[in-house]
Every structure is written in structure tokens, then in C-alpha cells.
Amino acid sequence: MAQKRKREVKDEGKTHNAKGRRKRVEKDDKSELEAHVKMEVLSDHGQNHRSWWHDQRKMFLRDWKSHNPGLCCICIRGTRDLDEIVTCNGPDCAVSVHRACYDVEGQDASKWMCDRCRTDDPALAACVLCPCRDGALKQISGTNYWIHVLCMQWTLGSRDDDRVCEENLYHLDPKRWNKECSVCTSPMNKQYGGKCPCDAAQCKNLVHATCAADYRLLEEVTDSPDMAHPFFVYCKQHGSNDPRLNPWAKWVQNKHRGLVKIAENERKTPISQARLNDPRAVLENSLAIFNDEQELNILRMQHDAVHSRAECAAYEKATVKLQRDLNNTATNLEEATQELEQLAKEDEALRDDLLTIFECFQPTNSASPVSPDTVIDRLFQLGPQIQVRPDFESAFVSAYTTAQHQQQLEGDEKCLNELANKRKRRGRRKNAAHPLSGCGLFGLCTICKTFEGGEASGSGLDGTDSPSSPEVKASPPALDGINVHRLIQCAQCVRCFHMGCLDPPMTKVPSRGYTWRCEDCDTSPSEEDKTPYKRKLDDEQSIADEGRPKRIRAVPARYTV
């Protein structure tokens, strides 16, 4: 009986353990089912959640597009005559342009889309010259690079879309890449792309073309049609307009602010917090972040590639210039070497000549010959004690006379050149406007044939009287209170006359603004015609300057028979 009882107890224990295992299995299955159902519910709620926020973004963008300011994002102007503004139909695209500015002639405005929105991946279409993602973009033919029409016009300086090629990007000055934009606030955006220098004098600031357009810092001169390049870029400190965002830039700014606000509200919802435990949601979020990072990396690589090619082009240009300078240096060195050899030959010939000359001074009974290296020192040591040998005295006198005459001729020519240069420097300001003013006039008097040397007191070049020739007449007679040697010049025949040589002598130089003519060039009415002319002026009460009589001069005695 005891064994039977033990067997029954053992069987009951096995049965109890089996029931416990079945209950645990059923509980685990129930937990898995509840978790699966919960995941499905979260997934369905997540799909609905994402769809709802997607609809919110669409509604916001639709409302945002309805508030288009009606400005062209290229020229920042409104609708012009016969040139309407068309807007891209992309849901989040802010491109609104004139048909002529973006070359969209003949296309339906209700279905038109910009070049970026027509690409397979619009996120990879970004300008390589500025950090701005909005605005009208054009793809450079034959490349994957995109560029704003604004940057093409103002940074590259090209107004023709068809002429812009990849080489234009590489020829941009590397200094425009390395310096920071003075308008951007983000440190990353400051360094990004190529900039335009401020056109204000001595200003070293640079600015992106799109940043300058946003703050109305791009100016075009329209009142000077002859100006070759009437386009100017300024920084915030030198722009003529108040540096505030234009309506189109404010419109784009409102779009970005609204999308950021919607994204923040979406992350704060309870469903979004619960989706943090959803593996699918975590994977989708990570994939989206990865895609965004890859897009930024691709755009950064394109920018760095263009920047590197621009620096390489600058280095190649500098290399060519250095090679040219090196060739010029080699040529100059060769010429300098030839000149040095010529100077060495001249120095040797000069030493031989000095040695020959020293033999003329050296006593005949000199037992020690003088070497060429000590010729100059020996000549200076002898100084005044040096004596010329009698047999060379006549030759030395003749050579000395010839040298003195040549030196005097050179001095006279130099003095004339100095006077001419002084006339050019001072006479332009002092005598060019009025050739009678100032005492710097020099020349030959037409009457007495005496030369006056400008500021020199006499007629010679050094202030002394020049040697008279048989044809030279006497100087003008001295008169009280009159500078008889002062020259005046005829405004028509440009001949010079002494004030004292005129008949009658001129006592006063004409005032500034008036000219003087000699009697041969003067066409003023005579004394007989002066009275009727004055009567006519009194009758007509006219004060016309054209007919006023000039100074009437009598015929000099030297011209009478």
C-alpha cells in the first residue's frame, strides 16, 4: 500500500508540473501575441501619424505658395511690360522668375517647372558657389555641377547662360574661395563657395551673390549707357540701400521656419515618442538621417572639387608666370654678363690710357715703371705738383681747349632742357591757360632779336648777356615802371615780344582770361570804324563781346617808308 501511495503521489507531481509548463507556454504565447498586436497597432498608428503630418506639410506649403510676393528671384523686380513672372509648380520650390531672366519663353506657366525640379534627385542639385538652396539654378553643361543664375551673373561675370562652362568655375580667383562672407551668420556658410568683393574703395569685405541679393546690395547703373560694366556689389557697410531682407527672401525664410516648426511639433507628439521603441521606425529614421548626411557629403565633395580645381588652375597660371619671369631673368643675366665683359674691356682700355697719360707727366729719368693698378693713386698723390713734359704741352693745351668747348656746349644744352622742363611743369599751371602771366616765359623777341631765358635776369642762359651777333639789334630802352625785358606772346602766331619793344610800349600785362594779339594778327576795327560802331551799340543797347574793338595800335616807324 505504501508503494502504491508513493506511486500515486509521484504521478500527481508529474501532472502538476505538466500543467505548470502548459500555463507558462500559454502565458508566453499570449505575451507574444499582445506584443505583436501592439506592434501592429503602433505601426498602423505610425502610418496614420506620418500621413497626417505629411498632409499638414502639404497644407502649409500650399498656403505658403499662395503668399508669393510676385518678385523675380534673379533680378528682384516685379512684373515688367510684356514680361510676366512664372512660378515653379514644385510643392516646396520658391523659384519665381521672369520669362526672359530664366529663358522660359513659349512654355505654359500653369505646368512649368524649373530645371532642378525636373531632375531625378532635386536634393543633389545645389549651387557650388554659395550655400543657398533656394533660387533659380542652372546645370553647367557636361557636368553634374549646378549654379545659381545670380552667381553666374555676379560672381562669374557672365550674362549668357550658353557661354558658361566648367572652365569658368576654375578661373575664379582662389582668394574668393578662401575668405569669409561678411553677410552669412553660420560659420560653415561663411567659408562655403566663391564670393564677390565689395566694389567700395579700399573695402576688403566679400559677400555671396545670393546674400547680397537678399539684402538688396546688388546695384546696377542705368543712367550711364556708355559704362562697360554697370554692375556693382557692396557689403552691408557700403550699400546705398538699407540692408534689409527683400520680400522674396522673407517669403523663403517663412517657408523654412514653418517646416522646422512642423517637424518640432511632430517629434513632441506621444505617438512619435512611442515610435522610438519601434525597430522599423528607428530604422527608417536612421536611414533618413543617413541619406541627408550623404547628400550633404556629396554636395561638399562637389564644392571641394571645384575649389581644388580652381586652386590648381591658379597654381598653373602662377607657374607659367614664374617660368616666364625665369626666362626673362636668364636673358637679363646674359645681357648683364655681356655688359660686364664690355665694362671690363673699357676698364682695361682706360687703365692703358691712364698709363700713357701718366708717362706724359712722369720725368724722363724715372727708373721705376708705374703699373696700371697704381696709376690713379699716383695721379692723385702728385696733385698740383704734377708737371707736363714740354714736348706734350701743346697737345695738352689743344685737348684742354676742345674739352672745355665740348663741356660748355653740353652745359648749354642741359640748361635749355631744364628750362623747357620747367616750362612744362610750371607753365602748364601758370602760363598754359594764360601765356602772358608769370615771368617764366622764355624765347626770342621778334623785334630786337634778344633771347630771354625765363627766370634768368639777362638774355643769356646763366643770367648774363648772350654774345651779340651782327644781326642782333639793341635791347629795348629802359622805361620807368615797366619791365621792358618781360616777354609776352601772341595768342595767334605764338611769337614773343618784349613789352618795351612794342610801339607804344605795353605797360601792363592783360588780365587772366584775356589774350593779346600782335598787330599782324589783330583784326579789330580801326579808329575810323570805331565811332559808328559805338553809335550802333548805343542805338541797339547791345553789349555783345564779339564786336568790341580791340586795342588800336599805330603802325611802327620801322614799317613806314
Q: What is the C-alpha to C-alpha distance for residues 464 and 467, in angstroms, rounded to an integer?
A: 9
Same domain, 138 and 153: yes
Q: Is there a single domain that holds both residue 483 and residue 554?
A: no
Q: Beta-carbon neighbour count of residue 299 at 10 Å? A: 20
Residue 384 lies in a domain: yes
Q: What is the pTM of this model?
A: 0.55
366 and 348 share one domain: yes
Q: What is the pLDDT of residue 168?
A: 82
The predicted structure's pLDDT at residue 465: 44
Q: Tell me, yes or no, whether 550 lies in a domain.
A: yes
What pLDDT is recorded for position 20?
56
Residues 342, 456, single domain; the answer is no
- Return the exposure string of 138-158: e unless at least 16 CB atoms fall within 10 Å of the residue's CB, then b: bebeeeebbbbbbbbbbbbee
Q: Examine the domain organization and report whether 477 and 496 are in the same domain.
A: yes
* Cα–Cα distance for residue pair 408/456, rounded to 1 Å: 18
Q: What is the CATH number of the domain that holds 433?
A: 3.30.40.10
Say yes or no: 481 and 356 in one domain: no
Q: Are 340 and 397 members of one domain?
A: yes
The DSSP bridge partners found for residue 498 are: 487
DSSP 154-187: HTS----GGG--HHHHHTS-HHHHHSPBSS--SH
Tally of helices (H runs) and strands (E runs) in the chain: 13, 12
Whether 135 and 73 have beta carbons less than 8 Å apart is answered as yes
Domain annotation covers residue 21: no
User: What is the secondary structure of 442-484 as a DSSP string?
Assistant: -EEBTTT--EE-TTSSSSSTTSSPPPP-TT--PPPPP-TT--T
Q: Please state the domain count of the chain.
A: 4
Domain boundary among 378, 410, 442: 410
So what's the pLDDT on residue 165?
Answer: 81
262 and 150 part of one domain: yes
Domain range spanning residue 152?
A: 85-193+247-268
Same domain membership, residue 426 and residue 406: no
Residue 229 resides in a domain: no
Q: Give the residues of the chain that fall short of pLDDT 70.
A: 1-50, 161-162, 270-278, 361-376, 378-386, 425-442, 453-482, 525-561
Q: What is the pLDDT of residue 325?
A: 94
Residue ending a domain, among 348, 382, 410, is 410
Note the maximum CA span of the chain.
191
The residue out of 234, 268, 302 marking a domain boundary is 268
What's the pLDDT at 254? 92
Bridge partner residues of 497 (DSSP): 488
Residue 210 lies in a domain: no
389 and 499 fall within a common domain: no
Asked if the structure places residue 373 within a domain, the reply is yes
Alpha-carbon distances, residue 8 vs 4, 14, 21, 439, 511 (angstroms): 6, 10, 20, 152, 152
Q: Is 1 inside a domain boundary?
A: no
Q: Is residue 417 part of a domain?
A: no
Same-domain pairing of 377 and 449: no
Together in a domain, 397 and 506: no
pLDDT at 207: 94
Query: What was the pLDDT predicted at 47?
Result: 58
